[in-house]
Amino acid sequence: MKVMCMQTGKLTVQSDVYAFGVVLLELLTGRPALDLNQGPNDQNLVLQVRTLVDNQRNIYKKKIKKSP
């Protein structure tokens, strides 16, 4: 669950969507959301995927800027 939801104890539509996304990532990657056997940068699946997506966005933006 997201940190705010854990602090307040209230479930919202946003927390449900976030949880669904985490479960979807687990199914697509075959990894648990939190894997302490991985290296320090790879333990949290959501942060790892977010980093990958951000890197892809940056690469795409650079390609757009370079094209005539």
The answer to whether the Cα torsion of 51, 53, 57, 62 is positive or negative is positive
Cβ pair 12, 19 in contact under 8 A? no
d(CA 8, CA 21): 20
User: From the first residue on, what is the mean pLDDT of each consecutive set of 10 residues in the chain (68 residues)?
Assistant: 63 87 95 92 91 89 75
Q: Is the pTM of this model over 0.85?
A: no
Domain ranges of the chain: 3-66
d(CA 68, CA 11): 48
For residue 49, the model assigns a pLDDT of: 92
Angle at 43 between CA 37 and CA 44, to 5 degrees: 150
Question: Residue 4 corresponds to which amino acid?
Answer: M
For residue 9, the model assigns a pLDDT of: 75
